[in-house]
Amino acid sequence: MHPDCKQIRRNILMASKASGHGHIPTSFSIVEMIYATYRAMKHNPAEPAWAERDIFILSKGHGALGYYCVLANAGYFPVEAVKTFGAYLSRFGCHPDRRKVPGVEASTGSLGHGIGIAVGMALAFKLRNSPRRVFTLIGDGEANEGSTWEAIMVAVNLGLPNLTILVDFNKSQVRSLPIQNPGERLKAFGCEVHDVDGHDVPELASALQASARGVKAIVANTVKGFGCPTMEENMFEWHRKSPDEKQYDELLRELDARSVAA
């Protein structure tokens, strides 16, 4: 595990315990994806509205806690602030609000929306001949929504090489409507597909940097709750749960037992 990503996970646990709100497993599955994306993007934490920045939209908004901790790691705000996660008058809701959190470009939560907004932004940059790029992260559960596929069809038809769709393939839909072989589906829809280990930062970086002639889709094979076997093996139980003191210590111990790699 990348050392920064391990620290981000520690922060996720800390904020969840402090706030009493969860969504830890889904946040853990996307840490490397968002971390690698922000390393690939042009952005400026000191000036979130910088006119030349690239755009990231977390379409699966319920991964907000992971997103906030990556943004904090990048320098958008102190991670201590995220302890107010979900609290009355906090900036940090359990789904991100672009009007409240520096760096957040679109308010998401209801699934199947952020990706469509991302397509519109990518079209805007194409119309302006701008080099700015747009990245959006969707979940495999989110891919149950028809609007997700509408947006992908439109994006491919418009020809948007400045758009990258990251798919968190954490298989959480196994109990309802699994999205089998998302890479094949995305390819059939016309995307240029990269299939990667979603917890391998260099592999993600390589896919993010690869040139594309059309819409790029990166299928990131991930594990919900990655880093803590307790959550990996009980992802449904932990879906919205926040750890108590004892569980927190145990999860930290499990996390710290993971070896560190670049």
Partner 1 sequence: MRRQFKDTITDIAARDDRAVVILGDISHYLFSAFQEKHPSRFYNMGICENALISVAAGLSSQGFHPFVHTIAPFITERSLEQIKLDMCYNEFGGNILSCGASFDYAWDGATHHCYSDLEILRLLPGMEVIQPGSRKELDILLRSQYDNGRPTYFKLSDNPHNIDLDVRFGKGVVMKDVGADVTVVTAGPLLANVLEACKDLSVNLLYFHTIKPIDTEIIARFRKTRFLVVHDGFGLREAINEVPGLHTAYHGLPDEFCVWYGTVHDIRKEIGLDPAGIRQAVAGFAAGA
Q: Which of 81, 154, 212, 252 binds partner 1 (CB under 8 A)?
A: 154
Q: Is 119 in the site for partner 1 (CB under 8 A)?
A: yes
Residue 139 within binding range of partner 1, rule CB under 8 A: no
- Cα(232)–Cα(246) distance, rounded to whole angstroms? 18
Number of CB atoms found within 10 A of residue 100's CB? 12
The reply to whether 188 sits near partner 1 by the rule CB under 8 A is: no
Residue 58, interface with partner 1 (CB under 8 A)? no
Task: Choose between 15 and 215: whose C-beta lies nearer to partner 1.
Answer: 215
Distance, CA of 42 to CA of 133 (rounded, Å):
9
Nearer to partner 1, 113 or 224 (CB): 113
Cα(first)–Cα(last) distance of the chain, in Å?
7
- How many residues bind to partner 1 according to rule CB under 8 A? 30
- Residue 87 region, left (φ>0) first, then alpha (ψ -120 to 50), else beta? beta
Q: CB-wise, 92 or 125, nearer to partner 1?
A: 125
125, 169, 226, 238: residue in contact with partner 1 (rule CB under 8 A): 125
CA distance 100 to 186: 33
Angle, vertex CA 108, rays to CA 74 and CA 160, nearest 5: 80
SS3 letters across 158-200: HCCCCEEEEEEECCHHHHCCCCCCHHHHHHHCCCEEEEEECCC
The single residue among 15, 58, 69, 122 that binds partner 1, judged by CB under 8 A, is 122
- Which position among 5, 121, 215, 223 is part of the footprint of partner 1 (CB under 8 A)? 121
Binding mask 59-78 for partner 1 (x = CB under 8 A): --------------------
Among 61, 55, 7, smallest CA distance to 31 is for 7
- Out of 12, 31, 58, 117, the only residue in the binding site for partner 1 (CB under 8 A) is 117
By CB under 8 A, which span of 3-11, 39-47, 99-107, 179-187 interacts with partner 1?
99-107
Minimum distance from residue 99 beta carbon to partner 1 (Å): 7
Rounded-to-integer distance, Cα 48 and Cα 62, Å: 22
Assess 89 for contact with partner 1 (CB under 8 A).
no
In the complex with partner 1, the residue whose CB is nearer, 141 or 243, is 141
Distance from C-alpha of 51 to C-alpha of 65, rounded to nearest angstrom? 26
Written as six digits, the tokens of 68 are 């906030």
How far apart CA 257 and CA 168 sit, in angstroms, is 24
- Please select the residue that binds partner 1; options are 81, 87, 94, 124, rule is CB under 8 A: 124
User: Where does this chain bind partner 1 (CB under 8 A)?
Assistant: 98-99, 105-107, 109-110, 112-113, 115-125, 127-128, 146-147, 150-151, 153-154, 157-158
